[in-house]
């Protein structure tokens, strides 16, 4: 009994775990458990093997146990000879001691990661210890045994490891403490309205499209703050921009010469304005209504220079879009939600170029925005901090912008940042600049140091290639050394980095980003250093294009040529590695280690190459996912209540709890209580679907939109503060690795929607009889797609295109409609199944109205999938996953059909079993004692037991063949056993 109970508990726990995780997450968890077990087993066996070799000894229970484990290890590793195992380890300690240290570190870390994931500082401290231990081992134990011919290369690789470790540890110090500031209420800081500072809102533009500028300017105009003035700063001096400013009744400042680019544009505006504060936005960043009310209150502190807010992106960046990685966060989220709060704790919040508000007096003290470098934002913040001014980072998304359209644009922007941060070293080196605190020097230097990581990444990519192709030994270590010293570092980085970054970044994705950009970053560093030392002049500022469309998928080879070249070299080196294994057995440890390293690098490079496969972007107007209570006003006066699921400047998507007879032009009224606005829009339906719970989803296109309505739509989209705040996407390293390997297949087989139906279609399952009228028997089929103008029918025989037929559609309420039709589409599905598209011909007004009424009839009682025939058939039903709705092991359920059709059945259960909609079930129908039929179905609706009546299920048959349909139809239409209901109502 106890054993059965334990088995049931384990069985239930496993099921709940599987039910809670999707497939990739489950594989990831299994991979984690396997990896931990593998590490621990190897540590025990290898430590016993090495210890037995170093001190054979004799006698004693412990010594005999150790020898037994050693013998087991010899069998486990097979070809590993004792000559491969060194006699001692770091600083003369035994390998057994180091193995125990590694095991304890890994176990302690895994316990913290499991039960104390919020203890970021403990994780960072342990990671520092592990990495320092690894570097000491590399420097003292592996470098002196390298062959003289490989010494230079080995030291270069070791130097790259030091650079990478320094970058990581600097980042840890930068993020050691983090702030989470609350807004200072404006009424508290400036209770009298006349005392509130005046604000100039600057929107900077050079060559951005008018459509992008329009929404930003409307958003700035809608900011809820009385004493503000909006300025359009046009570095392109375009006449259409001046007209747009006049149309929106805002101020326009243009420049004929765009000297010093954005910094010069802002300085020019400062000279022509007089506001106490200056709020800065890029051309594509749209603020919410409460922006100024949430940040102006901070300026009660007279020593405050600026307040920076996060930059949220409401479109996907190239990594998210091209890798189809929906579980990835935006590449910039780590900086704005983890690093910047850490900078703020050191009073070193960076100015990030947009979404920041400055005190004019502070800018005047440093002669305006810095013009010496092309990263004027960070450089300006550094100079203000050096003058003793304070900064604040308010970690709340108050504005949203567009991410880069293509990977080439992404690279272009990152290279500009790389060049600008490198230039800062020559104008205002943070370690040498007077006036900065220790924390400020640390943060600015760490930010600059990151942009030199391309060199280390390139060395790591080249190191295994050098060994496998040319035999150049970069790391002289065997299995034991790698296991004892490298694996703990790897475990800490894989499972510890997400804890440090609060789940915003997996170390694996960080390495993919670095690999995709490393070559360009390295050469940019080199050319910038050279030009700064030997030439004079400022690099040209290049604006990142945004807001474009792309009609076709294309591969941008020119931006990933270095990665393609390195990939070919790795493939060649792996082939040489196989040859070395066969020809030179003495190389086996080094060959295996470097081949594994090369394979890992190959995956990173493939990620950098995949992201250059640009996917089509058809959407001209970005959409915002927002729920707004709305009213749909139909032409007949009917009003339906629903909610928006997403809105854009050109359309609205809504959901209704019941089907709505949408046809033709209608009106939608948005009732947005969050911003206290309501808007009436004239709309045309373009898409309609109904889910299994009978919810009706409709997509509308806004037509005859006025300029006032356009502005109010933008206010609905961007006016609500915090609508972009969402839970961070979290994935395991294993699932990320698997995702990367499968990217090319998903890109090939994931299609974009390129067209929209002008005629609404209704996704349902109906019986349909097609009569050709040529004296032959009518063809029985079924449909899963019907609209106001046609129907898709699956038949066992084909009918020639252009043939006039009569379609008898049997609706789910029992009504039958006969419609004259013509075959417009024919496709062979398999050997004996065809899909026909029928277009209705010469429909009368009454027939059109009848179709609409049948498609959008209100839900009453148990919803049918097809008209029913009263037919009693014994059946046995079981849930496919063998679990009921409570998660308990399921069992066979006996019942009988109360009503049947070719598409499904209403089943009366003989006992009360917890089930739910959407469950997949297997069904055995017993036509008689000797004849039965096995089917698969899905529970579409449930009517619970009441007043002594049994529970009723509506089951929709799945994966039916036409033979199945004909067999069911033959069985249920036997005259003496059944009769058709004239009208089916709720059960």
Active-site amino acid positions = 235, 377
Measure the CA–CA gap between 141 and 144, rounded to whole angstroms.
Answer: 7
Measure the CA–CA gap between 806 and 820, rounded to whole angstroms.
Answer: 5
**How many Cα atoms occupy the beta-carbon half-sphere of 737 within 13 Å?**
14
The residue to which tokens 């894989």 are assigned: 494
For residue 182, how far is the Cα from the chain centroid?
A: 28
The residue to which tokens 């029928």 are assigned: 838
The residue to which tokens 């996060």 are assigned: 310
**If we measure between CA atoms, which residue out of 285, 290, 310 comes closest to residue 213?**
285
Based on the number of CB atoms within 10 Å of its own CB, is 471 exposed (0-12), middle (13-18) or buried (19 or more)? middle
Measure the CA–CA gap between 521 and 475, rounded to whole angstroms.
Answer: 26
Task: Report in angstroms the alpha-carbon separations of 782 from 514, 807, 959, 969.
Answer: 54, 11, 12, 11
Task: Report in angstroms the alpha-carbon separations of 639 from 658, 668, 760, 855.
Answer: 12, 10, 19, 18
Q: In 3-state terms, what secondary structure has residue 118?
A: coil
Task: Report in angstroms the alpha-carbon separations of 174 from 149, 439, 502, 828.
Answer: 40, 8, 14, 63
Measure the CA–CA gap between 189 and 434, rounded to whole angstroms.
Answer: 33
User: Residue 640: in which H helix or E strand, if any?
Assistant: strand 639-647
Task: Report in angstroms the alpha-carbon separations of 166 from 142, 173, 378.
Answer: 20, 11, 22
Write the DSSP assignment of 673-715 as a string of letters.
TTTTEEEEEEEEEEEEEE-TT--EEEEEEE-S--HHHHHHHHH
Is the CA virtual torsion 310, 312, 318, 321 positive or negative? positive
Q: In 3-state terms, what secondary structure has residue 659?
A: coil
Under 8 Å between Cβ of 741 and 932: no
Q: C-alpha angle with apex 984: 981 to 987, nearest 5 degrees?
A: 120
**If we measure between CA atoms, which residue out of 886, 903, 918 comes closest to residue 694?**
918
- Please list, in sequence order, all residues whose beta carbon lies within 8 angstroms of the beta carbon of residue 870, skipping any fewer than 6 positions away: 898, 899, 978, 979, 980, 981
Q: Can you read off the two tokens belonging to residue 193?
A: 């309205």
φ, ψ at 753 (rounded to 5°): -80, 120
Strands 277-281 vs 199-205: parallel, antiparallel or unpaired: parallel
Measure the CA–CA gap between 873 and 968, rounded to whole angstroms.
Answer: 12
Q: Can you read off the two tokens belonging to residue 866?
A: 């097809």
Please report how the helices 487-500 and 120-137 are oriented relative to each other, as an axis angle in degrees rounded to 10: 150
Measure the CA–CA gap between 627 and 621, rounded to whole angstroms.
Answer: 18
Name the DSSP class of 61. Answer: H
Please report how the helices 438-450 and 376-386 are oriented relative to each other, as an axis angle in degrees rounded to 10: 160
Under 8 Å between Cβ of 345 and 176: yes
Under 8 Å between Cβ of 559 and 407: yes
- Name residue 823's beta-bridge partners: 838
Residues 757-789, buried b or exposed e (16+ Cβ, 10 A)?
eeebbbebbbbbbbebeeeeeebbbbbebbbeb
The residue to which tokens 């075959």 are assigned: 823
Measure the CA–CA gap between 885 and 913, rounded to whole angstroms.
Answer: 9
- Name residue 770's beta-bridge partners: 779, 807
């Amino acid at each position: 009994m106890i054993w059965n109970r334990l088995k049931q508990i384990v069985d239930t726990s496993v099921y709940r775990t599987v039910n809670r995780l999707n497939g990739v997450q489950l594989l990831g968890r299994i991979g984690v458990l396997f990896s931990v077990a593998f590490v621990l087993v190897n540590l025990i066996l290898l430590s016993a093997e090495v210890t037995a070799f170093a001190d054979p000894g004799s006698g004693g229970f412990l010594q005999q146990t150790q020898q037994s484990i050693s013998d087991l290890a010899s069998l486990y590793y097979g070809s590993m000879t004792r000559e491969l195992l060194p006699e001692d380890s770091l600083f003369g300690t035994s390998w057994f001691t180091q193995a125990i240290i590694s095991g304890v570190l890994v176990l302690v870390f895994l316990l913290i990661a499991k039960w104390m994931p919020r203890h970021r500082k403990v994780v960072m401290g342990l990671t520092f210890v592990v990495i320092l231990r690894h570097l000491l081992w590399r420097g003292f134990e592996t470098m002196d045994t390298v062959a003289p011919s490989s010494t230079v290369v080995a030291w270069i690789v070791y130097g790259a490891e030091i650079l990478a470790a320094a970058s990581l540890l600097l980042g840890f110090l930068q993020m050691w403490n983090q702030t989470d500031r609350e807004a200072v209420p404006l009424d508290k800081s400036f209770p009298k309205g006349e005392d509130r500072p005046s604000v100039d809102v600057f929107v900077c533009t050079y060559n951005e499209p008018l459509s992008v500028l329009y929404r930003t300017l409307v958003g700035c105009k809608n900011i809820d703050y009385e004493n503000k003035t909006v300025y359009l700063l046009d570095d392109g001096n375009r006449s259409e921009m001046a007209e747009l400013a006049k149309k929106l009744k805002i101020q326009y400042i243009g420049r004929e010469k765009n000297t010093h680019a954005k910094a010069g544009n802002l300085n020019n505006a400062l000279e022509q304005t007089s506001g106490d504060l200056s709020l800065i936005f890029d051309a594509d960043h749209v603020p919410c209504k409460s922006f100024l009310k949430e940040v102006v209150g901070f300026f009660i502190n007279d020593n405050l220079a600026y307040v920076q807010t996060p930059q949220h992106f409401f479109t996907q960046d190239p990594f998210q879009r091209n890798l189809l990685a929906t579980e990835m966060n935006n590449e910039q989220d780590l900086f704005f939600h983890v690093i910047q709060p850490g900078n703020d704790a050191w009073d070193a919040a960076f100015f990030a170029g947009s979404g920041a508000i400055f005190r004019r007096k502070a800018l005047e003290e440093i002669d305006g925005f810095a013009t010496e470098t092309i990263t004027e934002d960070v450089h300006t913040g550094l100079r203000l901090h050096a003058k003793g001014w304070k900064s604040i980072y308010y970690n709340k998304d108050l504005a949203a912008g567009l991410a880069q359209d293509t990977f080439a644009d992404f690279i272009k922007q990152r290279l500009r940042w790389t060049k600008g941060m490198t230039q800062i070293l020559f104008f205002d080196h943070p370690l040498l600049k007077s006036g900065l605190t220790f924390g400020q020097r640390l943060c600015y230097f760490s930010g600059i140091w990151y942009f030199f990581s391309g060199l280390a990444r390139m060395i790591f990519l080249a190191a295994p290639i050098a060994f496998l192709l040319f035999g150049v030994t970069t790391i002289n270590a065997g299995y034991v050394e790698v296991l004892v010293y490298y694996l703990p570092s790897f475990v800490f980085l894989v499972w510890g980095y997400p804890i440090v970054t609060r789940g915003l970044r997996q170390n694996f994705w960080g390495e993919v980003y670095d690999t995709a950009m490393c070559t360009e970053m390295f050469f940019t560093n080199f050319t910038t250093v050279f030009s700064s030392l030997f030439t004079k002049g400022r690099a040209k500022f290049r604006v990142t294009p945004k807001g474009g469309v792309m009609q076709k998928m294309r591969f941008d080879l020119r931006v990933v040529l270095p990665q393609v070249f390195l990939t070919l070299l790795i493939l060649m080196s792996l082939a040489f590695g196989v040859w070395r294994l066969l020809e030179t057995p003495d190389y086996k440890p080094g060959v295996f280690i470097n081949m594994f390293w090369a394979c890992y690098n190959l995956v990173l490079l493939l990620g950098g190459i995949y992201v250059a496969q640009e996917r089509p972007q058809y959407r001209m107007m970005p959409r915002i996912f927002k729920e707004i209570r709305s009213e749909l006003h139909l032409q007949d006066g009917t009003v339906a209540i629903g909610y928006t699921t997403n809105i854009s400047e050109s359309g609205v998507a809504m959901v209704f709890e019941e089907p709505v007879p949408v046809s033709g032009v209608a009106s939608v009224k948005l009732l947005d209580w969050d911003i206290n606005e309501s808007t009436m829009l004239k709309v045309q339906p373009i898409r309609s679907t109904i889910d299994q719970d009978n919810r009706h989803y409709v997509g509308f296109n806004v037509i005859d939109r006025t300029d006032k309505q356009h502005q109010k739509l933008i206010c609905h989209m961007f006016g609500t503060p915090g609508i972009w705040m969402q839970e961070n996407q979290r994935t395991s390293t294993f699932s990320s690795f698997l995702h990367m390997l499968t990217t090319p297949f998903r890109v090939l087989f994931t299609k974009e929607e390129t067209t929209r139906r002008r005629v609404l279609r209704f996704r349902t399952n109906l019986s349909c009889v097609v009569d050709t009228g040529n004296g032959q028997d009518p063809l029985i089929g079924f449909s899963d797609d019907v609209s106001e103008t046609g129907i898709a029918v699956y038949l066992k025989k084909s009918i020639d295109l252009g043939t006039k037929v009569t379609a008898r559609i049997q609706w789910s309420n029992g009504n039958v409609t006969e419609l004259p039709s013509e075959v417009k589409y024919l496709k062979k599905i398999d050997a004996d199944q065809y899909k026909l598209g029928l277009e209705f011909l010469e429909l009368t007004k009454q027939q059109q109205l009848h179709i609409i009424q049948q498609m959008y009839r209100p839900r009453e009682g148990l919803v049918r999938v097809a008209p029913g025939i009263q037919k009693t058939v014994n059946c046995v039903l079981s849930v496919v996953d063998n679990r009921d709705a409570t998660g308990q092991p399921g069992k066979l359920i006996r019942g009988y059909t109360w009503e049947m059709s070719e598409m499904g059945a209403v089943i009366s259960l003989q006992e009360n079993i917890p089930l739910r909609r959407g469950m997949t079930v297997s069904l055995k129908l017993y036509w008689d004692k000797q004849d039965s039929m096995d089917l698969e179905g899905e529970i579409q609706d449930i009517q619970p037991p009441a007043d002594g009546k049994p529970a009723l299920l509506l089951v929709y048959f799945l994966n039916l063949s036409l033979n199945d349909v004909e067999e069911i139809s033959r069985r249920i239409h036997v005259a003496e056993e059944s009769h058709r209901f004239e009208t089916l109502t709720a059960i």
